[in-house]
Amino acid sequence: AQSVSQHNHHVILSEAASLELGCNYSYGGTVNLFWYVQYPGQHLQLLLKYFSGDPLVKGIKGFEAEFIKSKFSFNLRKPSVQWSDTAEYFCAVNPPITGANNLFFGTGTRLTVIP
């Protein structure tokens, strides 16, 4: 079955450490890619998105992601995490399915940043 995979379920880092969260998808064709963040008790907020063009996308709060088409990947990175980055991170894909702009989500990665 086609899917979105986030292999890291829970990541624990110390402040100032670098972060990379993996996201792989199995849909063929042109896809739109997203990373959302959910802070404890809050709704999902858009971090960044990729539709086309430069495969290195910069988002809010110092996050960036790189689209590698050959690897079907869209990994999220941040050079130096802060305690306030503690949250759950979701990768989402809008595959080339006709009829709607439906998003398919990964299962999420919980990030805990230790002060």
Partner 1 sequence: DAGITQSPRHKVTETGTPVTLRCHQTENHRYMYWYRQDPGHGLRLIHYSYGVKDTDKGEVSDGYSVSRSKTEDFLLTLESATSSQTSVYFCATGQETQYFGPGTRLLVL
Q: How far is CA 68 from CA 3, 5, 9, 10, 94, in A?
A: 17, 15, 21, 23, 16
Contact status, residue 109 vs residue 8, Cβ threshold 8 Å? yes
Binding residues with partner 1: total (CB under 8 A): 24
CA dist 64 and 87 (Å) reads 16
Applying CB under 8 A, which of residues 29, 43, 53, 98 lies at the interface with partner 1? 43
Per-residue binder mask for partner 1 (CB under 8 A), 71-90, x = binder: -------------------x
Quickly list H helices, 1-115. none
Among 51, 59, 67, 77, binds partner 1 (CB under 8 A): 51
Q: Tell me the closest approach of the beta carbon of residue 88 to partner 1, in angstroms.
A: 9
Site string for partner 1, 87-106 (x = CB under 8 A): ---x-x-x----xxxxxxxx
